[in-house]
Amino acid sequence: MHQAITEPTFYCENSSSLLDPLIVNDIHILAYHEVSENILEANTRYHCQASGILNLHKPKYTQFKRKVWDFEKGDYDRYCEELRQVDWDTLLDTNLNNAVSIVTQKILDAANKHIPNDNKDKANAFNRYFCDQSSVDDSSTNIPELNLDDIIHTLDNIIITQEEVHDQLLLLDVCKATGPDSISTRFLKYAARELSYPLALLFNKSLQFFIRPILEYADTVWDNIPIYLKDKIESIQIEAARVVTGATKLCSKSKLYNDTGWVSLSERRSRHKIIKFHDMFHDQAPNYLCSLVPQQLYQVYNCNTRRAFNVQNMNCRTTFYQNSFLPSVIREWNSLPQDVGCNPSKFILKNYINRDIKKVPTYYNTGCRKGQILHARLRLNCSGLNEHLFQKNIVLSSLCICGHVESSKHYLLECHNYRLIRTQTISTLPRYKIQTLLSGSELISDEENENIFRVVQSFILETGRFGS
């Protein structure tokens, strides 16, 4: 940042000071700047104006063509079916920009096939409409006489109240005009279920490719920052995990990470450090980094013990230095199995350190967004059930109105209040453990898991236990 103003801008009896800086990030965009003369009559205490001219190009917004769709005649069953058939997993296995274009194109392709948008039809529809408007039979009507005294609504006496504005806002049509991507809100609304999955993928991708790289920029170097700063950074990813799962603030971080399959940022930093050190150890990094690697124990002591291949630990006088990149990564490095660390293949190392990464089952995306959220909250022990609220000291009792502890198991399988809805939903399933109803099971097929999720979510929604 550059501060352009160098003269004082405020004068008083005994002193002058610079109170009005002009700060730009690139000094070249400032074509001219000055501090003007005092323009007030007062000449003991006065303020001078600082001003400047910025040489900036304002981007031009290009117009975009809009297609007009005959939504009334759309075949939405086929439109949804078309989207349902898309193999999003394979298609979206690319970078985020490509993924966004693919989703947009798929929606438009499906809409083009099943929702009429012929320009001729459109022109005819407009013609018919305007013809109807101008063919009113007004032969026997007289032009009314205007009494100007009766006009009460003139521009300067109309008062729009807050309520009126509020009412108008409530009347707004959801069929808003499309944006530059030509996607109508109807396309999104009518195929909400079909599109929830690819859109969730896009969200994850944007987190992965846009936000996380910023949070992790040069993270191997700054990993020894104070814990409260680490927590602040971590909280951004935690918040994103809450958005994805729909979990509330009551949900524990470990459960959130387990449910999303994400690795915590602190763990990722430590993995990045090991990978970076692997490059240094195997001469795959610039020389100024490789030369920092201390010798291995067998080179120093000429010994032949189990630890001979370990890298020599560094002597540290302060904890701050001890936690910095090189000393801390050497400790981690020495705890790796020898065949992993000594192998120059980064692939083997990455496989080893990422061995516990969990793939999130695809059936977690079954059902509508609301059903998914309520289901996930039960799974993550952060729902509105009394047991979950009681565990967080939010309510005084964990009991259901029927007198038993209101746990997920009680709610889904036992509570008499929902007996009828249960007979039509959960009871139609084979007998599953509560864990399977909440999280699915690896022992059964994805289709069976999807069916369980759909049935459990319809039970949750129909009971209205968490609001309608």
Q: Does 48 bind Zn ion (CB under 5 A)?
A: no
CA angle 369, 373, 374 (to 5 degrees): 120
- Yes or no: say if 45 and 13 are a contact pair by the CB < 8 Å rule: yes
The whole-angstrom separation of Cα 344 and Cα 276 is 12
Scanning 187-195, 289-297, 355-363, 413-421 for contacts with Zn ion by CB under 5 A, the matching segment is: 413-421
Query: In the bound complex, what is the minimum distance in angstroms from residue 250's beta carbon to Zn ion?
Result: 21
In the complex, the smallest distance separating the C-beta of residue 186 from Zn ion, rounded to whole angstroms, is 41
Q: Tell which positions 290-309 bind Zn ion, by CB under 5 A.
A: none
In terms of CB distance, is 229 or 402 closer to Zn ion? 402
By beta-carbon proximity to Zn ion, the closer residue of 76 and 390 is 390
415 counts as binding Zn ion under rule CB under 5 A:
yes
Selected range binding Zn ion among 21-29, 207-215, 342-350, 414-422, rule: CB under 5 A: 414-422
> Going by C-beta distance under 8 Å and a sequence separation of 6 or more, which residues neighbour residue 104?
181, 182, 183
Kindly state the tokens that stand for 12: 């008083």
Query: 464-467: which pairs have CB atoms within 8 A and are 24 or more residues apart?
Result: 465/384, 465/385, 465/411, 465/418, 466/374, 466/377, 466/383, 466/384
Min CB(386)–Zn ion separation in Å: 9
Q: Does residue 83 belong to the site contacting Zn ion (CB under 5 A)?
A: no
When asked if residue 80 is in the footprint of Zn ion (CB under 5 A), the reply is no
107 binds Zn ion (CB under 5 A): no
For residue 402, the minimal CB distance to Zn ion (Å) is 3
Restricting to residues 183-212, name those near Zn ion by CB under 5 A.
none
Q: How far is CA 172 from CA 66, 72, 165, 167, in A?
A: 21, 19, 11, 9
Q: CB-based burial of residue 85 (10 Å sphere; 0-12 exposed, 13-18 middle, 19+ buried)? A: exposed
Q: Which is nearer to Zn ion, 191 or 415 (CB)?
A: 415
Q: Which is nearer to Zn ion, 373 or 400 (CB)?
A: 400
Beta carbon nearer to Zn ion, 334 or 398: 398
Residue (404 or 454) nearer to Zn ion, CB? 404
Judged by CB under 5 A, the chain residues 363 through 402 that form the site for Zn ion are: 400, 402
Whole-number minimum distance, CB 439 to Zn ion, in Å? 22
Q: Are the C-beta atoms of 269 and 220 separated by less than 8 Å?
A: yes
Q: Cβ closer to Zn ion: 48 or 415?
A: 415
**CB of 426 vs Zn ion, minimal distance in Å:** 15
Residue 454 CB, nearest approach to Zn ion (Å) = 24
Q: Report how far residue 88's alpha carbon sits from residue 110's, in angstroms, rounded to the nearest whole number.
A: 14
Query: Residue 371 CB, nearest distance to Zn ion (Å)?
Result: 21
Pick 107 or 426: Cβ nearer Zn ion: 426
99 in contact with Zn ion (CB under 5 A): no
Strand partners for 2: 24
Count residues near Zn ion (CB under 5 A): 3
Tokens 């129909």 found at: 462
Nearer to Zn ion, 53 or 402 (CB): 402
State the minimum distance, in angstroms, from the CB of residue 407 to Zn ion.
10
Pair 119, 229: CB distance under 8 Å = no
Q: Please report, as ranges, the residues that interact with Zn ion according to CB under 5 A.
A: 400, 402, 415
